[in-house]
Amino acid sequence: MIPYAENNRTDQNIQTELENFMAETENNEIERQEPAVAEIVGKAIFSQKYDEYAFFYQSAIRQLTTKLQIVSADFSRNNDRSPIESITSRVKSLESIAAKMEHKGLELNLDNMISNINDTAGIRVICPFLKDVYEVADMLLKQKDVELIKIKDYIKNPKKSGYRSLHLIVKTSVLFSDGIREIPVEIQIRTIAQNFFASTDHQIRYKRQSKITPEIHKKMLECAELMANADEQMQKLAEKVEI
């Protein structure tokens, strides 16, 4: 997914370097512990490659964030209000990627990360109104060097948890010193109310599934519905005052 024009350090020669290093150490138990060593070497290669790739993902985030800021500023010039409340971003940590790959039953290597983990680079855009979510998505997708790979509309089809958000997986072309790379980025676009639910849900439940009783789940869904109703009412009010 990320074509690379030239790379003078291949997986093969990093692996050879690591194996040589380990073979030279005094306590040479490589042969007796081959599977464990292979695993350690594999993880070391992955971790080293991750550091290199994190730079590419971070660069794609910077490029898309600038595009979002520009379309938002342009919208503000013409409409006297901003369709974007805030933009945040992150490159997923190595630990978090490893946990997600393990959860998906994937071997820990770079190819699997690139082809299966869509949200290594993530941008979150928070909008005041429901309509803004779709307008921001449209404005972004009109850009020539932004290609839509996948759309998940959890606003029209909320998750069982009550989670609502528009997720776009896009590919953006970024120019580096050795050529252009196509980098995938997940963009989550949602309203302030949807973000309130997502953030609190993330802390209460998302990472603590085991403690969630049916009663808590029901209460959380009620909160999600409250937020959704508030969004709909705010959207209607916005239309009444013609914004």
Nearest approach, Cβ of 61 to ligand 0O2 (angstroms)?
A: 14
Our finding on whether 163 is near ligand 0O2 (CB under 6 A) is yes
Among 14, 58, 59, 100, which residue sits at the site for ligand 0O2 (rule: CB under 6 A)?
A: 100
- DSSP letter, residue 107: -
Task: Report helix, strand and coil shares of the chain as percent, to nearest 5.
Answer: 55, 20, 25
For ligand 0O2, the binding residue among 72, 89, 118, 172 (CB under 6 A) is: 118
Residues numbered 191 to 230 that lie near ligand 0O2 (CB under 6 A) are 198, 201-202, 206
What is the SS3 assignment for 214?
helix
CB of residue 45 to ligand 0O2, shortest distance in Å: 23
Whether 112 contacts 46, CB under 8 Å: no
- Binding-site member from 64, 87, 113, 119 for ligand 0O2 (CB under 6 A): 119
Position among 161, 172, 191, 195 found at the interface with ligand 0O2 (CB under 6 A):
161
Interface mask toward ligand 0O2 for 139-158; x: CB under 6 A: -------------x------
Within 10 angstroms of residue 52's Cβ, the number of other Cβ atoms is: 11
Q: Does 89 bind ligand 0O2 (CB under 6 A)?
A: no
d(CA 47, CA 39): 12
Q: Which is nearer to ligand 0O2, 50 or 75 (CB)?
A: 50
- Shortest Cβ 139–ligand 0O2 spacing (Å): 21
Of 140, 139, 136, 119, nearest to 128 (Cα)? 136
Instruction: Please name the amino acid found at residue 3.
Output: P
How far, in Å, CA of 60 to CA of 70, rounded? 16
Q: Residue 41 or residue 60: which is nearer to ligand 0O2 going by CB?
A: 60
Measured CA to CA, the distance from residue 166 to residue 119 in angstroms comes to: 14
> Looking at beta carbons only, is 44 or 223 nearer to ligand 0O2?
223
Residues in binding contact with ligand 0O2, number by CB under 6 A = 12
110 vs 34, 65, 117, 190, 192, CA distance in Å? 21, 25, 10, 30, 35
Q: Which is nearer to ligand 0O2, 140 or 198 (CB)?
A: 198
How many other C-beta atoms are found inside a 10 Å radius of the C-beta of residue 154?
A: 18
Interaction site with ligand 0O2 (CB under 6 A):
100, 118-119, 152, 159, 161, 163, 167, 198, 201-202, 206
